[in-house]
């Protein structure tokens, strides 16, 4: 087994990352966070407002989601960081015991265009909800993310738009580098203020047990649970047992002595040399993980791949690599093969709401009339609850009837497909093989195009 180099003392309190197997540039690993051990490469469903749209947390657990995302901009505006902190952070607020990553809010702020003004200190912006004025700086973005209490948080960066000329891309990259240093400084000074290090938890006692008590919580199977039940009856203990019975060891109680992990972000637009410089400057500041940001902003997908591959060459091999906001099922396989460890994208949930479903036989637009009398399952090779129970005809009927259930079932299937895809990728890498099981499907010519 290959392992990463020993972490610095300052990083031992946040995460640890171990590489288990490699196949070419691809690698499988284990990322240990305060709330979960994550198998990588991993796909992370996006839960913008502390909710993966249409999918309850227990279903996410059944699907095997190891880590989900929250969006700082949206949570800052509603319900507000203070409320989330008082509920024990996002883990307590949304009753999610596994890992969480929050972005800095920078991408959403920069997407506001006419509603924002940028200077060296930060960004002044108007809420898309009510037009009220707000200000984000590297320091306030860190303060908000510490209050939200995710396992992994992101440095405040400036997302370079596409297209951008050379001078604009450089100015944006250098701003990101300066903001990264400020983010790191504030985080180091305040990282012990995470919600799980206080007593301000509401109904989240199961999330804050010391690590040496993990085996007694009934998290790892029936035997531990039965041993727990054999003890003198205690209502609180029984409630804890019920909450965790049947869950996998993907979730563990919070290691209360740990802090969050702050990842740096590499920017630089579509300029390979600027990306190299951004990577070097970000690594010099020092982070336990590194993200590639500023992609999927309108550039051709061939260019996205080129920038990803060239940037990965400059990132440390012993630290987790996170590619932000990318991509299709084919792309997540491709990027895992290039050595990316973490990916997120709104595509599976957003496409589901519009009736676009991903299957082992290609994309299905369930809104089409040809499925109105189709008794077949959506994907005969899929074991998710949707494909095991419902026909294409029924799914098409729900969508045509504008039933909320259509969005729920479509989303469950798409997330299952993405998560299963990543499981197969990990399995292929562990066998020393390159993951190609989707290539023949997604590159297959569409009917009538030959």
Active-site annotation, residues: 103, 344
Instruction: Using CA atoms of 140, 142, 145, 147 in order, give the dihedral in degrees to the nearest 10.
Output: -70
Tell me the DSSP string of 223-282: HHHHHHHTSPP-HHHHHHHHHHTT--TT-----TT---EEEEEE--TT-HHHHHHHHHHH
d(CA 148, CA 65): 20
Question: 108-111 long-range CB contacts below 8 Å, 24 or more apart?
Answer: 108/71, 108/73, 108/74, 109/73, 109/136, 110/158, 110/159, 110/161, 111/159
Q: How far is CA 131 from CA 82, 126, 279, in A?
A: 21, 5, 36
Contact present, 68 and 60 (Cβ < 8 Å) = yes
Question: Where are any strands of DSSP class E within 14-115?
Answer: 16-23, 26-32, 37-40, 42-44, 67-71, 99-103
d(CA 102, CA 48): 9
- CA angle 132–347–146, rounded 5-degree value: 50
């Amino acid at each position: 087994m290959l392992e990463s180099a020993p972490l610095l003392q300052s990083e031992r309190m946040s995460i640890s990352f171990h590489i288990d197997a490699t196949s070419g540039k691809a690698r499988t690993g284990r990322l240990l966070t305060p709330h979960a051990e994550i198998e990588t490469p991993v796909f992370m469903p996006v839960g913008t407002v502390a909710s993966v749209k249409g999918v309850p947390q227990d279903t996410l657990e059944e699907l095997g989601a190891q880590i989900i995302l929250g969006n700082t901009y949206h949570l800052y505006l509603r319900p507000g960081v203070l409320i989330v902190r008082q509920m024990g952070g996002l883990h307590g607020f949304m009753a999610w015991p596994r890992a969480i990553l929050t972005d800095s809010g920078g991408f959403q702020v920069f997407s506001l265009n006419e509603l924002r003004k940028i200077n060296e200190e930060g960004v002044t912006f108007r809420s898309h909800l009510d037009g009220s004025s707000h200000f984000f700086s590297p320091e306030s973005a860190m303060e908000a993310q510490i209050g939200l209490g995710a396992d992994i948080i992101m440095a405040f960066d400036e997302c370079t738009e596409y297209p951008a000329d050379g001078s604009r891309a450089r100015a944006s990259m250098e701003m990101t580098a300066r903001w990264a240093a400020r983010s790191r400084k504030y985080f180091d000074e305040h990282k012990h203020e995470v919600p799980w290090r206080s007593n301000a938890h509401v109904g989240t006692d199961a999330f804050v047990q010391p690590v040496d008590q993990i085996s007694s919580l009934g998290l790892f199977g029936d035997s531990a649970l039965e041993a727990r039940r054999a003890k003198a009856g205690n209502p609180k203990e029984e409630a804890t047992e019920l909450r965790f019975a049947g869950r996998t060891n993907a979730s563990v109680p919070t290691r209360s002595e740990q802090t969050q992990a702050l990842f740096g972000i590499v920017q630089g637009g579509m300029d390979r040399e600027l990306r190299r410089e951004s990577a070097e400057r970000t690594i010099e500041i020092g982070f336990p993980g590194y993200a590639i940001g500023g992609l999927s902003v309108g550039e051709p997908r061939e260019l996205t791949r080129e920038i990803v591959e060239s940037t990965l060459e400059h990132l440390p091999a012993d630290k987790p690599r996170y590619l932000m906001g990318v991509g299709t099922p084919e792309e997540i396989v491709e990027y895992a093969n290039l050595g990316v460890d973490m990916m997120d994208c709104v595509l599976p949930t957003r496409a589901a709401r519009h009736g676009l479903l991903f299957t082992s036989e290609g994309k299905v637009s369930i809104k089409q009339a040809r499925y109105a009398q189709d008794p077949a399952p959506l994907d005969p090779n899929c074991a998710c609850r949707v494909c095991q129970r419902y026909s294409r005809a029924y799914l098409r009927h729900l969508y045509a009837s504008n039933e909320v259930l259509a969005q729920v079932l479509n989303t469950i299937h798409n997330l299952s497909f993405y998560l299963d895809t990543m499981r197969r990728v990990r399995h292929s890498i562990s066998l020393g093989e390159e993951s190609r099981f989707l290539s023949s499907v997604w590159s297959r010519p569409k009917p009538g195009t030959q």
